[in-house]
Amino acid sequence: MKKQESPIVYIVDDDPSVRRSLARLIRLEGFRVETFAQAQDFLDEKERTDPSCLVLDVNLPGRSGLDLQRELSSRGYSMPIVFITGYGTIPMSVQAMKDGAVEFLEKPVNDQVFLKAVHQAVEKDRQMKRQYMELKEIQQRLASLTPREREVLPLVVSGMLNKQIAFKLGMTEKTIKVHRARIMEKMEADSLADLVRLAQKGGIDFQKS
């Protein structure tokens, strides 16, 4: 395990004075800060494993804040966003919130309201990263299954008996037992109940015949 670092807040705003004042405010909260003048600069960075969030100006030169939001989510790379804007409209704010923004604030922002939103966004990111890690772990285990095992798994978690599964697949009950044991081992499930939950989180279908 990596040592627990303080969360990092990314600020994208074309106004240097805004960047400076927000950065100062955030640093006082004990967070790390990185600032960018344009959306593209932010996108060029890689590797963001620490808990983090994005403070984003809606009106940016070139790629707008809303564009960046969509770009990020289309990359399956969603980071909680706190929008700030000088000249926002209701449709803008509605669109931002629909796309999952944590908050949408008008300049000048109230410090307390802003910091509360940042804290909330960071917390949300923590949750999402935790979820994501768990999902990745489960999918990794699923990937270690052989084709046959992947075929048997959904039938097992659907509640079918070994005998029934064997019949459905035209095999012996004995064979199913072996597959089943391997599945339990590879998925690191220590009970059927466990396996059902793991399969569910991993997105395994299990409609009964």
Partner DNA sequence: GATGCTATTGGACTTTGGTCCAATAACCAT
Partner DNA sequence: ATGGTTATTGGACCAAAGTCCAATAGCATC
Interface ranges with DNA (CB under 7 A) = 146-149, 161-163, 166, 169, 171-175, 177-181, 184, 192
Sequence letter at residue 49: T
Number of residues that bind a copy of itself (CB under 8 A): 25
Give the pair of three-digit tokens for residue 119.
Answer: 């804290």
Distance in Å, CB of 196 to DNA, minimum: 12
Distance in Å, CB of 14 to a copy of itself, minimum: 20
**SS3 sequence, 137-156?**
HHHHHHHCCCHHHHHHHHHH
The DSSP letter of residue 207 is -
103-106 β-sheet, strand order: 32-36, 8-12, 52-57, 81-85, 103-106
Considering the rule CB under 8 A, would residue 90 count as an interface residue with a copy of itself? yes
- Name which of 9 and 157 has its Cβ closer to a copy of itself: 157
Distance in Å, CB of 206 to a copy of itself, minimum: 8
Contact between 87 and 61 under an 8 Å Cβ cutoff? The reply is no
Q: How far is it, in rounded angstroms, from Cα 11 to Cα 57? A: 8
Considering the rule CB under 8 A, would residue 88 count as an interface residue with a copy of itself? yes
103 binds, among a copy of itself, DNA, none (CB under 5 to 8 A by kind): a copy of itself
Q: How far is it, in rounded angstroms, from Cα 129 to Cα 121? A: 12
| Residue of 79, 56, 177 lying closest to 128 (CA atoms) | 79
Distance in Å, CB of 171 to DNA, minimum: 3
Considering the rule CB under 8 A, would residue 89 count as an interface residue with a copy of itself? yes
Give contact residues for a copy of itself (rule: CB under 8 A): 88-91, 93-94, 97-98, 103-104, 106, 156-160, 190-194, 196-197, 200, 206
